[in-house]
Amino acid sequence: MGETTALDTAHAAMQQAPEDDAARLRFYDQLAQSELFLMLADEAGEDDQITPEIFAIGDDQYVLVFDREARLAEFAGQVVPYVALSGRSIAAMLAEQGIGLAVNLDVAPSSILLPEAAVRWLNDTLDHAPDEVELAIAEVHAPAGLPEALLTALDGKLATAMGLAQSAYLVGVTHASGTRGHMLGFVGAVPEAQDALTQAASEALTFSGIAAGAMDVGFFRVSDAIVPRLHKVGLRFDLPQLQDPTVQAVTMPGADPDKPPRLR
């Protein structure tokens, strides 16, 4: 038996509990963050223009994606051109094209056809983001009442954000206006990485089945007065750091759905 991938595992959990919204969301989360190999009709052209292979079933059209190169090769049975992209990038590319996703078709336990409506939903879902903090914070306190699913999702997302920030703290906050909520505060973030980090927080919320309004996102310098308060009461997430301190990563792989390859 071949390798069981993270996408296989998430798909199996979804199939075993068809009424479980959380399991379905975890599958879409895994699909969005996975590197997928998109089969092309021709080699990529200039300016990153690509022509995906289109697979027709009745009146519906699908592109062919696989989470392992070996699976693509097994399906094709011959050498074919392809491009490796994150699931979120492919969803952004296809969202307005009326084309669905044929995932691991006939070559893996996670073989599934996702119609264009599902692709459009995934892209729209990935576009949702928590608000960045703009109101003055009057009080910071320990987080409370957030489900374990969110904490697990945040831990997984931030574990991939190597070099993008020094740390992150999940805290409860009371704003000067009297409103209460939660905030994920990033400390020492690379300025160019703030959008990617906000996106990671958004996906953790969304795919945990929690409304975006349940958590804000803030960015703080190491020297900011609020940081000791975050450290005292917050739930800390340590982001992995680059071995070479002179090199900085500024984007998460596939985290820019606004710049997908163009369809030709």
Query: Mind giving me the DSSP string for 48-75?
Result: G-B-B-EEEETTEEEEEEESSHHHHHHH
Picking from 140, 105, 98, the residue whose alpha carbon sits closest to that of residue 119 is: 98
Predicted TM-score (pTM) of this structure: 0.64
**pLDDT bucket at 1, cuts 50 / 70 / 90:** low
**pLDDT bucket at 150, cuts 50 / 70 / 90:** confident
Query: CB 7: neighbour CB atoms within 10 A?
Result: 24
Structure token digits, residue 25: 């969301």
Helices assigned H by DSSP within the chain: 6-16, 21-33, 69-76, 87-94, 116-127, 148-158, 194-206, 227-233
Determine the pLDDT at residue 254: 43
Write out pLDDT tens, residues 200-242.
888 888 888 766 557 888 999 999 989 999 999 999 998 988 7
Which fold, 137-238?
Alpha-Beta Plaits (3.30.70)
- The percentage of the chain sitting over the pLDDT mark of 70, rounded to a whole number, equals 85
First-to-last CA distance in the chain?
Answer: 37
Q: Which amino acid is at 231?
A: H
Q: What mean pLDDT is predicted for residues 243-248?
A: 49
CATH of domain 6-127: 3.40.1350.90
The mean-pLDDT minimum among 67-71, 150-154, 160-164, 207-211 falls in 207-211
Decide: 204 and 224 in contact? Cβ < 8 Å. Answer: no
CATH fold match for the domains 6-127 and 137-238: no
Write out pLDDT tens, residues 13-50.
999 998 888 888 889 989 988 999 999 988 876 667 88
Decide: 207 and 116 in contact? Cβ < 8 Å. Answer: no
Q: Which residue has the tokens 């703080």?
A: 220
Task: Provide the 3-class DSSP secondary structure of residue 195.
Answer: helix
Write the burial class of residue 213 (CB in 10 Å: 0-12 exposed, 13-18 middle, 19+ buried): exposed
For β-strands 60-66 and 100-103, DSSP reports them as: parallel
Domain boundaries, the chain: 6-127, 137-238
